Amino acid sequence: MSHISPTENPDLGTGKTLSEGTRHKRRWHGWKGKHRLDKRLTVGAEKGIVRYVQRRCYSIEFSDLKSGKAISRRSSIFKFESFKDDDEIFRVQGPLQEAPFNTSAMHALILPKDHHVTKLIVRHVHERVAKHSGRECVLSRLWEKNGYHKVAHKINRVLSNCVVCKKLRGKAGVQKWQFYLQTGLHLTSYHSPTREWTVLDRFM
């Protein structure tokens, strides 16, 4: 049986291409999650991202409204009484239609609760805007910005996985020596032979 090297196999491509692909993959995994942009998104870019996510996750609802049909009762956003605004973005009707607020506060944006973009938005507000504050502060900041709907459970998940919050709210440590001194526990007597001494006895 003849041996075929990767450079001779047309399905695998040349060896140079494989090495370049591996190198780019390792570079991407090293970069991912460590570098974040400090520039703020424009309003048009933010709306474009939300519109893209909604069209990917709620494509059936978009097609129903485009054809003049009502949203199906089996849809996950049926109970929100959603509608499309002038930017073709799904929003919630809500009970504040007659309130003197702007559109973002009265009609919250609808995003999938388990989508990666939803996680990025919540994490950005928690770290950059709310400065690692609690759940209610992050939720109020989200409503102040765009009124994202149904993100409370995502806030809890982001806060529980935040390393900075764990360090700030961690339980204070207690020295082990203090426990032995308070209880009066002695492993051996000071008059015991040297071979029975331990490091703990020497410091006590």
Can you say whether the dihedral through the CA atoms of 176, 181, 182, 185 is positive or negative? positive
Q: How confident is the model at residue 89 (pLDDT cuts 50, 70, 90)?
A: confident
Q: Tell me the pLDDT tens digit for each residue of 99-155.
A: 666 666 677 888 888 888 888 889 988 988 888 888 888 888 887 766 676 677 888
Q: How confident is the model at residue 4 (pLDDT cuts 50, 70, 90)?
A: very low
Long-range contacts of 152-155 (CB under 8 A, 24+ apart): 153/113, 154/113, 154/118, 154/119, 154/122, 155/122, 155/126
Q: How confident is the model at residue 67 (pLDDT cuts 50, 70, 90)?
A: confident
Question: Where are any strands of DSSP class E within 36-110?
Answer: 82-84, 90-92
pLDDT, the chain, mean? 72
Q: How confident is the model at residue 72 (pLDDT cuts 50, 70, 90)?
A: confident
pLDDT at 170: 76
> Between the CA of residue 152 and those of 31, 49, 157, 169, what are the distances in Å?
29, 20, 9, 20
**Average pLDDT rounded to a whole number, residues 13-31:** 58
pLDDT at 79: 79
pLDDT at 13: 47
**Average pLDDT rounded to a whole number, residues 40-59:** 85
The encoded tokens of residue 28 equal 């991407």
**Average pLDDT rounded to a whole number, residues 56-66:** 87
Q: Please tell me which residue, 56 or 172, carries the higher pLDDT value.
A: 56
Q: Is the pLDDT of residue 3 over 50?
A: no
Domains of the chain by start residue, with CATH = 43-168 (1.10.340.70), 172-204 (no CATH)
Q: Is the pLDDT of residue 8 over 70?
A: no
Q: How confident is the model at residue 10 (pLDDT cuts 50, 70, 90)?
A: very low
pLDDT at 103: 65
DSSP state of 32: T
Which run of H or E residues covers position 101?
Answer: none
The encoded tokens of residue 8 equal 């001779």
**Average pLDDT rounded to a whole number, residues 33-47:** 69
